[in-house]
């Protein structure tokens, strides 16, 4: 994943959770077609047995890493590493999902890269697995940030990029978020529930996407088509 996603219609994206009596929406963020790291974006997570939508900083760096300066801020985390010493506490207590309409990847050589919008082939919302830290206010926003879990792309998605976000169907979100499921089991579930490459489609979009200030339906529209 190259670091941008499409979260343009937040209300539609959170209307898939019949299992929750209510989604407690505390988000103040507006929908954006061109979401970049470092921004605060709506994220679904469990708190006190209820489902909440909160604005969380995209990019995580633990408090000790911030002080030591040894590790960079992470916007993506490999599925293969989420049970290591750095991520295990978030895997236990910070499982979350990022609702989105799609994400972006770039292909080609530096200086002439072509962006692509990747989305579910059936046009349903997608829910990207994430790890987040929810703690008291900190000097660095990244100390209370989130990172998106990625896996090998596999199948046709290799045409666009070799990594992809781990995307869940709405029906599987409660299992991933369930705080009573141990970390090891949660990792196994994530591997087994992730949607396969056959579930996705993609199209080229305008290179203006590269400028984060460009936003609106035109940045997500198929190249050569009016938004």
Task: Give the C-alpha separation, 91 to 189, whole Å.
Answer: 12
pLDDT tens for 95-143 read 999 999 999 999 888 878 899 999 999 999 999 999 999 988 878 899 9
Q: Are 33 and 6 in contact (CB under 8 A)?
A: yes
Q: Which CATH class is domain 4-102+125-199?
A: alpha beta
Of 165, 73, 179, the residue nearest 119 (C-alpha): 165
pLDDT at 227 over 60: no
pLDDT tens for 75-93 read 999 999 999 999 999 999 9
Looking at residue 207, its pLDDT comes to 93
Catalytic residues: 2, 105
Looking at residue 215, its pLDDT comes to 96
Task: Give the C-alpha separation, 11 to 196, whole Å.
Answer: 26
Burial tier of 199 (Cβ tally within 10 Å: 0-12, 13-18, 19+): middle
pLDDT tens for 20-71 read 667 888 999 999 999 999 999 999 999 988 999 999 999 999 988 877 777 8
Task: Give the C-alpha separation, 11 to 152, whole Å.
Answer: 30
């Amino acid at each position: 994943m190259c670091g941008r996603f499409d979260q343009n219609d937040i209300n539609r994206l959170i209307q898939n959770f019949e299992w929750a009596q209510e989604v407690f929406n505390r988000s103040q963020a507006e929908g954006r077609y061109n979401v970049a790291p470092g921004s605060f974006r709506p994220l679904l997570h469990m708190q006190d047995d209820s489902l909440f939508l909160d604005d969380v900083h995209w990019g995580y760096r633990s408090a000790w890493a911030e002080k030591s300066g040894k590790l960079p801020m992470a916007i993506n985390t490999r599925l293969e590493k989420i049970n290591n010493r750095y991520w295990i506490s978030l895997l236990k207590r910070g499982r979350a999902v990022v609702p989105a309409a799609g994400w972006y990847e770039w292909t080609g050589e530096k200086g002439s890269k072509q962006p692509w919008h990747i989305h579910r082939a059936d046009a349903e919302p997608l829910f990207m697995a994430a790890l987040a830290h929810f703690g008291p206010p900190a000097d660095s926003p990244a100390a209370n940030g989130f990172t998106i879990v990625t896996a090998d792309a596999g199948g046709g998605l290799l045409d666009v990029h070799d990594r992809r976000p781990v995307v869940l169907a709405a029906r599987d979100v409660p299992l991933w978020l369930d705080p009573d499921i141990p970390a090891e089991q949660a990792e196994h579930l994530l591997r087994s529930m992730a949607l396969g490459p056959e579930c996705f489609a993609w199209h080229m979009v305008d290179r203006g996407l590269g400028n984060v200030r460009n936003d609106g339906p035109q940045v997500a529209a198929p190249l050569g088509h009016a938004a």
